[in-house]
Amino acid sequence: MDKIWLASPHMSDEGYEMQYIKEAFDTNWIAPLGPNVNEFEKELAEKVGAKHGAALSAGTAALHMGLKAAEVGEGDIVFCQSLTFAATANSIIYQHATPVFIDSDYETWNLSPKALGEAFEKYPNVKAVLVAHLYGLSADMDPIIQMCKKYNAILIEDAAESLGATYKGKYTGTFGDYGIFSFNGNKIITTSGGGMLVSNDEERIAKVRFWATQARDNARYYQHSEIGYNYRMSNVVAGIGRGQLKVLDQRVEKKKYIFDFYKRELGSLEGIDFMPINDWNKPNYWLSCITLKGEIKPIDVILTLEKENIESRHIWKPLHMQPVFAQYDYVGGKVAEDIFDRGVCLPSDTKMTEEDLTRVCSVIRSLWE
């Protein structure tokens, strides 16, 4: 049977992306920078309500540049949500800083304000806080912002998975000093690969663009006074992003449809719970996730779906449990670990038909039958 993917690229039916790509080819703007890059930065920043954006080669590059812009360096401590993808913490290591991992809560699956408060008491001189918005669910930002202000910590949002999601009516990625988005192939919109750093600080975003273009000084010859990086997004890739941005709201709507379908069809099965949706949170439902309680385990669901050519996935393994980060401190309890132990990401591809969704649900229900 045809493969059903967890999440795969979905180009617009209207062909918006090809219009911008064709323009880049027709004008020979194939080189790394060009009009599409400039416009994509403006259009995305305007969409989410940020003042400035820097289009980069990956969400990870955006995280790295955000930390560098925040002047995080060797000897600094950065609080990092543990239940997230490794790139969140890798960027801290790139800056030779020290991550301290923080537990999540069941109410949001994201950074626990209670555990964050305990971490601040233990490390009051922390430089920055990296909060992620897992699977398109926003963290509870108000208490997190309040604590960051109290301790004078810079707040950076990893909104790689949550473009289009809001917290109390405001887009994720715009609450902190810096926010990052990812346009990897599996994200809600894609540029095939790429990311964006947004901020209201024009000077810092200009500096990031400078660093990301090999920190080339304004001179008639190649002169470098700082270490730079090859992190800028290409003009062709940015054209894809401009086209994709036009259908972002449609993609969020379809992701919600998928989540609601699963909840309706699987919600009555004993031991199944769905990722938390709060009144103040309008997710983008990037991936529809469940937790299991009882005899049926995540691996049972994953392997059963796999036999039917259907892709699913475990919840992210918490970073404090990863061998590469074993030397770093962790603050909190067992919430992140428990969500990982019991969690499954179900297929959430926006190209899925009702027939595809019915097929997935039928396979899952067979485990209970």
Four-CA torsion 268, 270, 276, 277, nearest 10 degrees:
10
Q: Are residues 209 and 60 in the same domain?
A: yes
Q: Is residue 1 part of a domain?
A: no
Mean per-residue pLDDT, 330-343:
98
Is 329's pLDDT higher than 90? yes
61-75 average pLDDT score: 98
Domain final residue pick, 209, 227, 245? 245
pLDDT for 32: 78
- 116 domain residue, yes or no: yes
From 218, 245, 272, give the residue that closes a domain. Answer: 245
Question: CA–CA separation, 178 vs 187, rounded Å?
Answer: 20
CATH no. for residue 201?
3.40.640.10
Percent of the chain with pLDDT over 90: 99
pLDDT per residue over 7-30, tens digit each? Answer: 999 999 999 999 999 999 999 999
Average pLDDT, the chain: 97
Q: What is the mean pLDDT of residues 141-150?
A: 98
How many percent of the chain have pLDDT more than 70?
Answer: 100
- Asked if pLDDT for residue 284 goes beyond 90, the answer is yes
**Domain span at 255:** 248-368
CATH number, position 326: 3.90.1150.10
Is the pLDDT at 235 greater than 80? The verdict is yes
- 8 assigned to some structural domain: no
Structure token digits, residue 8: 């795969």
Please tell me whether residues 215 and 346 are part of one structural domain: no
Q: Is residue 5 part of a domain?
A: no
In a shared domain, residues 283 and 168? no
Q: Do 162 and 32 share a domain, yes or no? A: yes
How high is the pLDDT of residue 1? Answer: 85
Do 236 and 254 fall within a single domain? no
Please tell me whether residues 285 and 326 are part of one structural domain.
yes
Mean pLDDT of 275-293: 97
How far, in Å, CA of 309 to CA of 209, rounded? Answer: 43
- Tell me if 42 is assigned to some domain: yes
Instruction: Please give the pLDDT value at position 252.
Output: 98
What is the domain count for the chain? 2
Q: 212 and 261 share a domain?
A: no
In this prediction, residue 285 carries a pLDDT of 98
Burial class of residue 113, CB neighbours in 10 A (0-12, 13-18, 19+): buried
Same domain, 62 and 102: yes
d(CA 258, CA 316): 21
Last-in-domain residue among 227, 245, 263: 245
CA 154 centroid distance within chain: 19
208-218, pLDDT tens digit by residue?
999 999 999 99
Residue 182: which pLDDT band, with cuts at 50, 70 and 90?
very high
Q: Are residues 220 and 81 in the same domain?
A: yes
Q: Mean per-residue pLDDT for 216-239?
A: 96
Residue 152 has pLDDT above 90, yes or no: yes
Q: Are residues 274 and 235 in the same domain?
A: no
Number of other CB atoms surrounding residue 314 within 10 Å: 15
Burial environment of residue 355 by CB neighbours within 10 A (0 to 12, 13 to 18, 19 or more): exposed
* Residue 31 pLDDT level (bands cut at 50, 70, 90): confident
Q: How confident is the model at residue 150 (pLDDT cuts 50, 70, 90)?
A: very high
- Whether 218 and 265 map to the same domain: the answer is no
Please state the pTM of the whole predicted model.
0.97
Is residue 266 domain-resident?
A: yes
Q: Per-residue pLDDT averaged across 176-199, rounded?
A: 97
141 is a domain residue: yes
Q: Are residues 100 and 233 in the same domain?
A: yes
50 in Cβ contact with 252 (< 8 Å): no
On whether residue 9 sits in a domain, the answer given is no
Q: Characterize 185-196 residue by residue with b for buried, 16 or more Cβ atoms within 10 angstroms of its Cβ, and e for exposed.
A: ebbbbbbebbbb
